[in-house]
Amino acid sequence: MEKSYQKLITGNQIYSQTKIFQDPEFFKKLAEGQKPDYLWIGCSDSRVPANEITKTESGEIFVHRNIANLVVHTDTNLLSVLEYAVKFLGVKHIIVCGHYGCGGVKASMTNTYHGYVDNWLRNIKDVYQQNMVELDAITDVRERENRLTELNVIEQVRNLAKTNIVQQAWSERELHLHGWVYGLHDGLINDLSVIHNSQEDINEIYRFEIKSTVKPRKAIVAPKKTIVKLSNAVAKIKNVGIVKPTNGVIKHKNGVAKKLIPQKAVSQKNKK
């Protein structure tokens, strides 16, 4: 037991020395503060470390983890993390990341008594209940577990969108919500492409009346194009208008003239 514990202390010393060797200013810069672009809401499973599987460094991802990556509206721990990340750190993206083979998802699919954790897993049972027709139609148990894992992530992203913290941020700036599932079997992330970027992406009953301070984007109007093409010594002017050429000069109706090599006059009728 002492050996397994000492492994952590030794590992920390190696980590520190390696970082200093690579960048002598690494810890000095890290101590100055953090400004991550991402909030990660993931599972507590030891096989899904946020920084490692995304190849990011310390200070790049703000992390909250719990069993089965749940977003529960009564969880003051999660809500505190969410508010701090959104309001004070100003994160641009919130990622809910589950993983295939999640023990919490598997346990929620049974009627086995586990203890206090069953109260927490009830949230996943509710997801199963809401999608029972689809899930019961999947005969392979593992495939059904995987699909419930995905549906659970999608539901947690929706729960994020329903919070006044996220909706307040939407009224002030852009904030993007994402749903991912990590594969333990191949180490790859499956982006579920869950689109929740504004109040319009959730049911009206969950929308708080918050006055938006975001200025609407001005529509970009493309200017009219003036295209001059020379073909068979004929000048064709679009969107401007043209008069009969004289002395090698094309005279536009707007008063702008362009000198060309003298060509035989061509009637307006033949130009069309």
Q: Kindly list the catalytic residues.
A: 43, 45, 47, 99, 102
Tokens of 139: 């005969």
The candidate with the shortest Cα–Cα distance to 102, out of 82, 124, 87, is: 124
Give yes or no for a contact between 104 and 68, defined as CB atoms under 8 angstroms apart. Answer: yes
**Single-letter code of the amino acid located at 94:** I
Strand partners, 177: 94, 196
Strand partners, 11: none
**Single-letter code of the amino acid located at 250:** I
Place of tokens 């310390």: 58
Strand partners, 99: 182
Contacts made by residues 234-239, CB under 8 angstroms, sequence distance 24+: 234/263, 234/266, 234/270, 234/271, 235/260, 235/263, 235/271, 236/271
**Single-letter code of the amino acid located at 43:** C
What H or E segment, with its residue span, contains residue 181? strand 176-182
Measured CA to CA, the distance from residue 247 to residue 101 in angstroms comes to 82
The angle, 0 to 180 degrees and rounded to 10, between the axes of the packed helices 117-130 and 141-161 is: 100
Measured CA to CA, the distance from residue 21 to residue 26 in angstroms comes to 9
